[in-house]
A and B are shown apart, each in its own frame.
Chain A
Amino acid sequence: MTDTVSQNNTMLSRTITYRDAINEALKEEMRRDPSVFLLGEDIGERGGSYKVTAGLLQEFGPKRVIDTPIAEASFTGIGMGAAISGMRPVVEVPFVDFTMLVMDQLVNQVAKYHFITGGTRKVPLVLRTQGGVGSGLACQHSQSLEAFFYHIPGLKIAVPSTPYDAKGLLKTAIRCDDPVIFLEHKLLYTAEGAVPEQEYLIGFGKGGIKRPGKDVTVIAWLNMIPRVLSAAEKCAREGIDIEVIDPRTLVPLDKALILDSVRKTRHVIIVQEAIRRGGVASDIASIIQEEAFDCLDAPVRIVAAANSPIPFNEALEHTIIPQEDDITEAVYQIIHKS
């Protein structure tokens, strides 16, 4: 069943939002498996900060949609305890910034348990959270912290950029026996896209080609995908054919898809919303230079946020993170320089 239903199979698709796609994934998995339950702040009656869990309390009741006090570290740890003793919790932390309060439980407990038990016990826990720059939420509600999780062996990371990916990846995450950090983007919740009526799963470690092209490979995820796609349209009008690669999961990373594309286009740009220093893009760049250096016609370029907290001021917020023009400019430079 994995990924058998094509996103392009419009016969079976309707258009829904990213938010509704996640809601459907939760609902379907909760109906399918009674050990799945939700734990998080304001997720019941209110449906969470972004209304992703709306309606689930009504269908599944307060034992499976559990509102928590503001106690991120302990409710995540409680999720872990439930996970290792037979349940499948989906823990929601409303903003990725707040997961900093949970780091002991994620890094020292959740990510280590399989290892501590000599590879015999699993932690089927999903931590859903949301990040990225939004509309003036300022520096403690706007971070892109995937690199924190990426650095920790034992955590899988999903980064869906479309409603189709969000639903298929979340269903896989919930069925996965390993802990998954499921990163959503606050600006994508209202994004619409085709999602099949029938069930499908997207396997981890299988990236998607969001736009095929032959001149430059641009790798991006989450909310950088729509931005890269519109930059690609602009480049197309000027005769540059961009291939847009979305890894969909950062761990595991679809190296084969990335390297195949690099070998085809010989030019690579990696676009991340997170700050430049110590980011996932740097690691992907290092993988490419290590494994496909001979294929490159130009150095790998990274387009990323400045090494700065996110300003509240709107104009400054825009200057900090990659915009469409930053992406097209990088494309022109890489083509020109080679």
Chain B
Amino acid sequence: MYSKEFLTHIYTQLYTIRTFEMQCIHLYRQGMIRGYFHPYTGEEAIAVGVCAGLGDNDYITSTHRGHGHCIARGADLNRMTAELLGKKTGYCKGLGGSMHIADFSSGNLGANGIVGGGIPIGIGAALGISLRGEQGVAVVFTSDGATNNGIFGESLNLAAIWNLPVLIVVENNHYAVSTPIEQSTRVPDIYKRGPAYGIDSFSVDGNDVLKVYEHAQDAIARCRSGRGPVLMEAKTFRFGGHHVNDPGHYMPKDRMAYYKSKDPVLVGRRYLMEKGGATEDEIQLLETSITRKMDDAILFAEESPELTHEELMNIVERY
């Protein structure tokens, strides 16, 4: 039983992330965004479903594919877009860009340019919570690619032996850049690694926002009551290559078609209509308002100033 209000919130986030990504891909292709841009399209349900279960005092760490987590934690579209355009009004004052967005005000300790780099950092936030005797929880978003890195195993072990309140979410999109998961592990079900460390683990359909939410809720409750950590594997699929300039030709067409038929944004839209009783008109109104917000964010970013060299030197003076 979900309220219309809750389902509207969920769909708003799903649609906002999708809109943000599509618009920014467009800006990237126009040359307005430089560097690497790793879209989260096709994976939106994971960030939205997990973050819907978090409170103000909880933390997350994110991946190099981090825009979705940032938005799902409540980040401001203006500041996000400004960051991607390298502007002073961005979350990192234009110093970090797409791969490094951190929004401390929403407990987002940061995206990460290093695959697996954020895993111990999120667990460290959980250690802090535990040492202070607080009720908070930390969520570590990571990926199937990161699970073959030593830091994953080390960190899971530490989280386990110290009973930390951390939910480790492995977003299994089946590819580490272009390497399919079947080629990088004999056990493509990542959740099966958890029990070896003494961690309760499960797998969930990462394209179904309500399934993600329900499982995450349960896992977060376990963490809050001192029965963490928990490992959740969310199976999903990228809707394209590794980044905007990667056409992803290595991704099988039939598999892509299957996952596109389970588009998490459309799933969320259907839930809002079927379970929330929203009408097509209401949803279209919502979508229009999100599109408009994104247009405003782009305008804000475009008109924002850049940090000056002098301002940069003030920041790095202490280094």
Interface residues of A (CB under 8 A from B): 37, 63-64, 66, 68-69, 71, 73-87, 104-105, 108-109, 112-121, 153-154, 178, 251-252
List chain B residues, Cβ under 8 A from A82. 124-125, 127-128, 131
Q: Are B158 and A116 in contact (CB under 8 A)?
A: no
Q: In the bound complex, what is the Cα–Cα distance between A263 and B87 (angstroms)? A: 45
Interface: B2 (CB within 8 A): no
Q: Are B100 and A81 in contact (CB under 8 A)?
A: no
Q: In the bound complex, what is the Cα–Cα distance between A201 and B95 (angstroms)? A: 34
Query: Which residue in A112, A119, A153 is a CB contact (below 8 Å) of B93?
Result: A119
Residue in B closest to A115 when the chains form the complex, CB atoms = B95
Q: Are A108 and B154 in contact (CB under 8 A)?
A: no
Query: Which residue in B92, B129, B150, B314 is a CB contact (below 8 Å) of A117?
Result: B92
Residue in A closest to B123 when the chains form the complex, CB atoms = A78
List chain B residues, Cβ under 8 A from A37. 131
Q: In the bound complex, what is the Cα–Cα distance between A153 and B151 (angstroms)? A: 24
In this complex, the member of B59, B100, B131, B151 whose beta carbon has the largest number of chain A beta carbons within 10 angstroms is: B131
Q: Are B95 and A118 in contact (CB under 8 A)?
A: yes
Query: Which residue in B150, B162, B319 is a CB contact (below 8 Å) of A73?
Result: B150
Interface: B109 (CB within 8 A): yes
Q: In the bound complex, what is the Cα–Cα distance between A83 and B121 (angstroms)? A: 9
List chain B residues, Cβ under 8 A from A104. 114, 117, 151
List chain B residues, Cβ under 8 A from A120. 104
Interface: B62 (CB within 8 A): no
List chain A residues, Cβ under 8 A from B123. 74, 77-78, 81
Q: A68-B158, A108-B114, A118-B91 are in contact. Are A84 and B100 (CB under 8 A)?
A: no
Least distance between B165 CB and chain A CB atoms (Å): 12
Query: Which residue in B121, B316, B319 is a CB contact (below 8 Å) of A80?
Result: B121
Q: A76-B120, A84-B125, A109-B117 are in contact. Are A71 and B154 (CB under 8 A)?
A: yes
Residue in B closest to A154 when the chains form the complex, CB atoms = B319
List chain A residues, Cβ under 8 A from B255. none
Q: Are B124 and A153 in contact (CB under 8 A)?
A: no
Q: A74-B120, A78-B127 are in contact. Are A118 and B155 (CB under 8 A)?
A: no
Residue in B closest to A87 when the chains form the complex, CB atoms = B128
Interface: B110 (CB within 8 A): yes
List chain B residues, Cβ under 8 A from A121. 102, 104
Q: Are B92 and A81 in contact (CB under 8 A)?
A: no
* CB under 8 Å from chain A, chain B span 110-161: 110, 112-114, 117-129, 131-132, 138, 150-151, 154-155, 157-158, 161
Least distance between A1 CB and chain B CB atoms (Å): 21
A64-B131, A86-B132 given; name 16 further pairs at CB < 8 Å. Answer: A73-B120, A74-B120, A74-B157, A75-B154, A77-B119, A77-B121, A78-B155, A78-B158, A81-B138, A85-B125, A85-B128, A109-B117, A113-B110, A114-B315, A116-B100, A121-B102
List chain A residues, Cβ under 8 A from B127. 78, 81-82, 87
Q: Are B315 and A115 in contact (CB under 8 A)?
A: yes
Interface CB pairs A-B, < 8 A, 6: A37-B131, A85-B109, A109-B117, A116-B100, A119-B93, A120-B104
